[in-house]
Structure 1
Amino acid sequence: MDEIDHGPLRYCPADDGVRLAYRAQPGHGADAPALVLVHGLASNSTRFSEFAATTRLRGRWTLLRPDLRGHGGSMHRGSLTRERWCADLVAILDAEGLKRAVFLGHSLGAQVVMELAVAHPGRVQGLILIDPVFPEALGGVMGRVRRFAFLNRIAIVVTRALETLGVGRRQFPYRDLHALDVRTRAALRDNPADDISRLYMKPRADLRFLPLTNYLQDLREVVRPVPDPARIGTPVLVLRSGGATVSDQDRMRDWIARFPHGQQVTIDADHWLLTEHPRAAREAIDDWCESLVRERRE
């Protein structure tokens, strides 16, 4: 699927007045279940455009794809934290008249929705975590970011001060992540031995689309401690890549086992399941969501 219609952006105010952008595909019927798809670091709602266009849930579920504050159409120069993003997700639910939803998050987005399940359990029907990031399991580049987190915190203070003085303040284009996926798949077909992390973990490319301060704050949130999975009582599906570029796999298994109502599916990928194996990821998500609805009705 080389071309895709991302759909228009909708907007609603956060509780502090910041304008939040999201894409919405309504489900049929007043009682249609809802799925909220939350992107990761330096990303936006187009991360899920291909999924939204091809899922079996389309038309039967309401699909919401937010741009987290500080990203895409929700561009904002200010404090970015997982707690703030959780409050924004609740604001979007309220704007759409939804009491509860299933929340899907990728990487940093998985951390956000875990936080949401602890802070607002009444709004969360279930969680789908695509390659969740547990800081203690991080390896490689992100492991080094965690070890030197204090330097990142200093850099955030410095860059925010410079932005206050007007340094680096400019408009940022909106990134089409589906187009990036198409290019990445073509590159991997031409050179199967290539490393997808080399193609995707490019801070210089990311910084064409969001401020440096926002990128640094994303990194800070990635390496912060996450809620204990044992505190999350909702059903959880974990889609985990079998690769080990980003996280230590043994530690990941230990963390995932702590979810009281968790189910795990492992797919042979690195850390970008929706890019590397979109069909396998989509089928696992569709099957789980449909089973969740059946169990609720029985």
Structure 2
Amino acid sequence: MRACSEHWTASGMFYRCYGDQSGGTALVLCHGLASNGSRWQELCNQLVLPAGWRILVPDLRGHGRSDWRGRVGNRQWLDDLAQMLDDPSIVRYVIGGHCLGANLALRYVARSSAGCLGLVLVEPMLPLALQGFMRVLSRCGGLLSGVAALIRLGNWIGIYRRVLPRLDLFELDRSTRAAMQVAGTDHPLRRRYAAPLHDLRYTHSAAYLQALRATLQALPSFATVKVPCLAFISASGLFGDPLRIRLALSQLSDVAIHELMARHWIPTEQPDALCQILSDWLSDRK
């Protein structure tokens, strides 16, 4: 079990630090929609890190212990991440994430890549590759924002849930894998991870809708990304067409793409492969 400490930014974002607390190089891992930093607990405990590295795992504002009922989106999250990395002891970093977190990591590097050694994209949500219900939702951005604004108004006058249960994705991943093994199908996975009503048990409604809207927004041009990239694609993509995602990612100037047998939740479905490939890739980021 890797040593872990807990911290807060001045803006109120909670994050955990794993490994060498004074390491000059940081690996930042951002979670996905309706998730939190516990998404990465298993990986953080098993990942082989180069000497002098630490792992920073935030609960993005509006998720987990970064409780927030106001306006939230890419701008606020990018500012929070910049504040977290504004630590004199952090000289260099690699930033990555899953789903929404992958998109956010890409935005962060496109905005400023000073000190960045690389980018890790785990099942990024590329608008041009969306399929199914996500493709339909991508055309409803104004509606999502409007409903979120109405809910925030209700929050402002005191209508909101005071206490939300805490989602432990480390334990949920373990129980879901066991259920999938017994069932012999991925139905338990989709029932627990692709169910908005399940997500809303753990996330304030306005934050969830704003995060969904942010996930579906257009991304910066890949031409703005000048750092090495490691990308993971789900071969049986539930929300995105894997071929279109591969073609889009191939436009990055320096990218290694790995396609794993998964539906969307690679850290849940392929934890060992993700850990091994990432460990090997990080060993070259010195």
Query: What is the TM-score normalised by the length of structure 1?
Result: 0.90
Residues 12 and 95 in structure 1, CA contact (< 8 A), matched pair in contact too:
no
CA distance in 1, matches of 2:159, 2:145: 19
Q: Secondary structure at the match of 1:72?
A: coil
Residues 97 and 103 in structure 2, CA contact (< 8 A), matched pair in contact too:
yes
1:211 and 1:28, CA in 2 relative to 1: closer, same or farther beyond 3 A? closer
CA shift, 1:229, in A, is 1.4
1:123 and 1:78, CA in 2 relative to 1: closer, same or farther beyond 3 A? farther
| 1:45-194 matched pairs, under 5 angstroms | 45-57=37-49, 60-95=52-87, 97-194=89-186
When the two chains are superposed, the root-mean-square deviation of aligned CA atoms in Å is 1.9
Residues 70 and 80 in structure 1, CA contact (< 8 A), matched pair in contact too:
yes
Task: Count how many residue pairs are aligned between Structure 1 and Structure 2.
Answer: 285
Misfit runs of 4+, over 6 Å: none
Residues 26 and 59 in structure 1, CA contact (< 8 A), matched pair in contact too:
no
CA shift, 1:58, in A, is 7.6
Q: 2:9 aligns with which of 7, 12, 22?
A: 12
CA shift, 1:60, in A, is 4.5
CA shift, 1:30, in A, is 5.2
1:250 and 1:153, CA in 2 relative to 1: closer, same or farther beyond 3 A? same
- The residue type equivalent to 2:234 in the other structure is S
Gaps of 5+ in 1: 294-298
| 1:185-204 matched pairs, under 5 angstroms | 185-195=177-187, 196-204=189-197
Tell me the residue number matched to 2:225.
Answer: 232
CA shift, 1:250, in A, is 2.4
Residues 237 and 262 in structure 2, CA contact (< 8 A), matched pair in contact too:
no
- The residue type equivalent to 1:46 in the other structure is S
Q: 2:253 aligns with which of 253, 256, 260?
A: 260
Residues 93 and 100 in structure 1, CA contact (< 8 A), matched pair in contact too:
no
Please list the CA deviations of residues 147-198 of structure 1 after superposition, one character each: whole Å capped at 9, or x if unmatched. Answer: 2222212211211111112112412232111111011101110112233333
Residue 213 of structure 1 pairs with residue 206 of structure 2 = yes
CA shift, 1:62, in A, is 0.7
CA distance in 1, matches of 2:283, 2:59: 25
Please list the CA deviations of residues 102-134 of structure 1 after superposition, one character each: whole Å capped at 9, or x if unmatched. Answer: 012100001101110011211422100000110
Aligned residues: percent identity? 32
Q: Secondary structure at the match of 1:159?
A: helix
CA distance in 2, matches of 1:92, 1:146: 30
1:84 and 1:29, CA in 2 relative to 1: closer, same or farther beyond 3 A? closer
CA distance in 2, matches of 1:96, 1:182: 37
Residues 14 and 59 in structure 2, CA contact (< 8 A), matched pair in contact too:
yes
Residues 17 and 57 in structure 2, CA contact (< 8 A), matched pair in contact too:
yes
